[in-house]
Structure 1
Amino acid sequence: MAVKWIGGHSSSVLCLNANTEGLVASGAEKGELTLWDGGGTPAGQLQLPEADDVTSVVFSPQCPTRLYASHGETISLLDVRSLKEPVEHFHVNEEEINCLAVNEADSFLAAADDSGAIKIMDLEKKKVIRSLRHSNICSSVVFRPQRPQSLVSCGLDMQVVLWNLQKARPLWTTNLQDCETDGLQSAGQFFNPPLAHSLSVASCGNVFGCGAQDGKVRIFRVTGSKFEQELEFQGHSLGVSQVLFMPEAYWLLTGGNDGKVLLWDVSSDVAKPQKSPAKSQQRRKAQTPASTRKNGKLTKVASDEQARILPKLTIEHGEKVNWILCTEIKGSKRVLVADQSSSVSLYLLAEP
């Protein structure tokens, strides 16, 4: 049963983030931004200018009182100790921003927008040092832990891209349509293409997950200047709107348009000695499409390996998931879920 945090918003909550001290920030439609204490009481509220939707909020990894929020084409820097007017505004994107990311060193900020652009700001110099680009809406961007100049992005062009800030061009690009095993497209692929919605990188920095519109979750491993797919499984009956690696090993949370939040353990598949490219290719061929779905139900399993990839926990949230967050509150891990409502839902997450 979910605990509801209410009273912070009047519109649909779109994004969540938490700092190292347990303070949670939520952004909503119409420019609403709220801070929450661990008990679910609003600790501060702000109406951002122009009433543009607050699409992403991210705390500084080095300074927990510093919060970045995107609304429209604007990035606002806020001081959570005094949540009044923004400390500073940055106008570096030409279209609505979908996702913000700050690297661990707190030196670079990435802002991905509807034009497909990813603007990289040097936070010390307060200027754009790189402009990267997808051919369609860029939906998610994330820096890799322990690698302050390396980041991964994805978009509605179905591309997943590895970047290094020392280069203006991608190091490696994969089209999710090309990831279909043996080049075969699943039934309905043309009507439900794998538009990429969300990314999350594991704490090791070398493994990342991607959620897409076709309901599938794909796990990739970075090797040097490229990456390859390690695993693919049907995560949800509708689009996967959110993926989130937990700090512990390789536990992955996913949220979907089907109203479910699922917890997966992919450690047995990714926490292995690295294979040669030839063996990896053979392994991918062995991972034939695990199932077909008819009327939203699993009807066929074609691989023992895929068949065992089942969620360790299923949360029947019931509403389309906009954002998921995992943070420790009162000594226990909680999953926070933002959806189409004006409240934030909390679920106690049992220890794996």
Structure 2
Amino acid sequence: MTEPRRLRGHNAAATCCIASRVRPGLVATAAEDGFVCWYDLRCKDMLFTMDVRDGNPVSSLCFKPGNEDIIYVSAGNQIKCFDLHMTASWKQLESYNYNKDEINQIACHPKSSFLAAADDAGDVKVIDVHQKCLYKTLRAGHESVSYPILKIDLQQCSIPSLEIMGRVKLSCCLSAMRLRRQLITGGLDSKLVMWDFSKGRPNKIMDFGISAFCCSLILCSGGGDAAQCCNPAFVHALVVPDLDIVDKVGKICVAARGDGVVNIINIDSELAALKSKISTKPKQNTKSISKSRSPTSDSQSAVQNDKNLNLDYSMGGHVSAVSSVTFSMFGEKGKFIVSGGNDKSVKVWDWSKAYDAARTSNGDDLLCCNISLRKKVNWLCTTPSDSENLVVCDTSNVVKVYTIG
């Protein structure tokens, strides 16, 4: 792997990036300094910068589908809409201030006028950008939960002993992506929620939960001594395939989890299983389910669901939390899944091998590229170019650009 190209312009850690699909080489990056920097990778210098901060770091970027002259930027609890026309004379069009807490991720529906914003409170605000108003608030899918904080003692015996040290409460909804009729969210309660968008309530809740937490004792190496990394299965990021590749890869969702797993979830299979479960009549002498019962919660991790696929450390994957994940835009679109994590690495997965030829792959050949970094990954994206097609934002103020393939 050759040395990456370095994009300079930020004065604080880069938080996110986005690449144009229709203008190969055009990339926008954002950072904790509250600026958005624009680059054309075919040129040497930065194109221009946008000061959008109002005292807040930028947390997420999103193009308007079908019109990349319009970009949405989230900073603090506010979303701003800018008209670019790819010149330095950009102007702000609208701003939305419906979220009460800091926004973590925004996402546009590819065919409609809806913009979803997930915040620290666990709420998802759905905004109709054509009508310029709040369309719906989705809540009760994510909740505040307690996780045990475990101390791992490697000195007592060959098998680590676990000691409960305390509990911490976390409540957050980190990502929002909409796939056709589904709005999908994930959060720091280790839940992935598939929403009934029209009714504004959860259709299905997948709880990766405490079982995945206790099973994720991942061997790491540091300073020559073996160590253990034990993280809850928080859902840090989500991605769904773009509409131009969904027919080829299927209706799937990829989750970046805190236990180091990149989880590929078959949405059709999950919803079909839910529909089958609901339509099954209860047996005699059994208690029928009340209509007021909460949505179905799948307490089994995706490891136990043969419809889904886990890319984990046993395949050469991450040994710490996965912070970002995306599909490849270069070459055969969607062929690769690219993930970055707190273990200072980027993994490129040829995940399609696991689905070809009735899953003849044993998983050992899915990881096709591993990039070691000096900093933890905050975000990454890919471009449709043949070269300089992977953009990585780490915890430094310099954005790195790699060539894959």
Shift of 1:4: 3.3
Q: Find the aligned partners of 2:9 and 2:371 in 1 and give their Cα distance.
A: 23
**In structure 2, what is the equivalent of residue 298 of structure 1?**
none
Q: Secondary structure at the match of 1:128?
A: strand
Q: Find the aligned partners of 1:168 and 1:218 in 2 and give their Cα distance.
A: 25
**In structure 1, what is the equivalent of residue 34 of structure 2?**
31
Q: Find the aligned partners of 1:14 and 1:165 in 2 and give their Cα distance.
A: 29
Q: Find the aligned partners of 2:211 and 2:184 in 1 and give their Cα distance.
A: 17
Q: Find the aligned partners of 1:83 and 1:36 in 2 and give their Cα distance.
A: 15
**In structure 2, what is the equivalent of residue 316 of structure 1?**
372
Shift of 1:328: 2.7
Q: Secondary structure at the match of 1:65?
A: strand
**In structure 2, what is the equivalent of residue 241 of structure 1?**
323
| Partners of 2:72 and 2:82 within 8 A in 1 | yes
Q: Find the aligned partners of 2:98 and 2:357 in 1 and give their Cα distance.
A: 41
**In structure 2, what is the equivalent of residue 305 of structure 1?**
362
Shift of 1:49: 4.1
User: Structure 1 residues 6 and 231 mapped into 2: Cα distance closer, same or farther (>3 Å)?
Assistant: closer
Q: Find the aligned partners of 1:259 and 1:83 in 2 and give their Cα distance.
A: 37
Q: Which moved more, 1:242-251 or 1:73-82?
A: 242-251
User: Is 2:174 the partner of 1:139?
Assistant: yes
**In structure 1, what is the equivalent of residue 282 of structure 2?**
none
User: Is 2:55 the partner of 1:87?
Assistant: no
Q: Find the aligned partners of 1:83 and 1:29 in 2 and give their Cα distance.
A: 23
Shift of 1:191: 4.7
2:234 to 195, 198, 210: 195
Shift of 1:239: 0.6
| Partners of 2:64 and 2:108 within 8 A in 1 | yes
| Partners of 2:175 and 2:187 within 8 A in 1 | yes
2:389 to 324, 334, 337: 334
| Partners of 1:60 and 1:106 within 8 A in 2 | no
Q: Find the aligned partners of 2:120 and 2:199 in 1 and give their Cα distance.
A: 22
**In structure 2, what is the equivalent of residue 18 of structure 1?**
19
Q: Please list every run of 5 or more consecutive structure 2 residues that lacks an aligned counterpart in the other structure.
A: 144-170, 219-227, 274-304
Post-superposition CA distance 1:173-200 (Å, at most 9, x none) = 10112774xx973447995111110111
**In structure 1, what is the equivalent of residue 77 of structure 2?**
73
User: Is 2:230 the partner of 1:230?
Assistant: no
Equivalent positions of 1:42-191 (< 5 A) are 42-81=46-85, 82-133=88-139, 134-135=142-143, 136-144=171-179, 147=180, 149-177=181-209, 180=212, 185-187=215-217, 191=230
Q: Which moved more, 1:263-272 or 1:165-174?
A: 263-272
**In structure 1, what is the equivalent of residue 256 of structure 2?**
211
**In structure 1, what is the equivalent of residue 340 of structure 2?**
255
Shift of 1:216: 1.2
Q: Find the aligned partners of 2:326 and 2:116 in 1 and give their Cα distance.
A: 18
| Partners of 2:230 and 2:259 within 8 A in 1 | no
Q: Find the aligned partners of 2:214 and 2:308 in 1 and give their Cα distance.
A: 17
Post-superposition CA distance 1:104-159 (Å, at most 9, x none) = 11411111111111111111111121211322211111122xx1x32211100100
Q: Find the aligned partners of 1:156 and 1:98 in 2 and give their Cα distance.
A: 12
Amino acid across the alignment from 2:17: L
| Partners of 2:191 and 2:205 within 8 A in 1 | yes
Q: Find the aligned partners of 1:84 and 1:49 in 2 and give their Cα distance.
A: 15
Q: Which moved more, 1:68-77 or 1:160-169?
A: 160-169
Q: Find the aligned partners of 2:265 and 2:189 in 1 and give their Cα distance.
A: 18
Shift of 1:246: 2.2
Amino acid across the alignment from 1:167: K
Q: Find the aligned partners of 1:34 and 1:25 in 2 and give their Cα distance.
A: 6
| Partners of 2:11 and 2:397 within 8 A in 1 | yes
Q: Secondary structure at the match of 2:353?
A: helix
Q: Find the aligned partners of 1:320 and 1:107 in 2 and give their Cα distance.
A: 35
User: Is 2:7 the partner of 1:6?
Assistant: yes
| Partners of 1:109 and 1:122 within 8 A in 2 | yes
Post-superposition CA distance 1:182-223 (Å, at most 9, x none) = x97344799511111011113325112111111111111011
Length, aligned pairs only: 314
Q: Find the aligned partners of 2:95 and 2:268 in 1 and give their Cα distance.
A: 37
User: Structure 1 residues 83 and 314 mapped into 2: Cα distance closer, same or farther (>3 Å)?
Assistant: farther
Shift of 1:249: 4.2
Q: Which moved more, 1:197-206 or 1:319-328?
A: 197-206
Shift of 1:41: 2.6
Q: Which moved more, 1:247-256 or 1:151-160?
A: 247-256
Q: Find the aligned partners of 1:226 and 1:321 in 2 and give their Cα distance.
A: 35
Q: Secondary structure at the match of 2:137?
A: strand
| Partners of 2:251 and 2:267 within 8 A in 1 | yes
Amino acid across the alignment from 1:17: I
| Partners of 2:84 and 2:91 within 8 A in 1 | no
Shift of 1:83: 4.6
Post-superposition CA distance 1:21-63 (Å, at most 9, x none) = 2321111113111111123532121211422010001111211
Q: Find the aligned partners of 2:207 and 2:399 in 1 and give their Cα distance.
A: 34
Q: Find the aligned partners of 2:19 and 2:400 in 1 and give their Cα distance.
A: 15
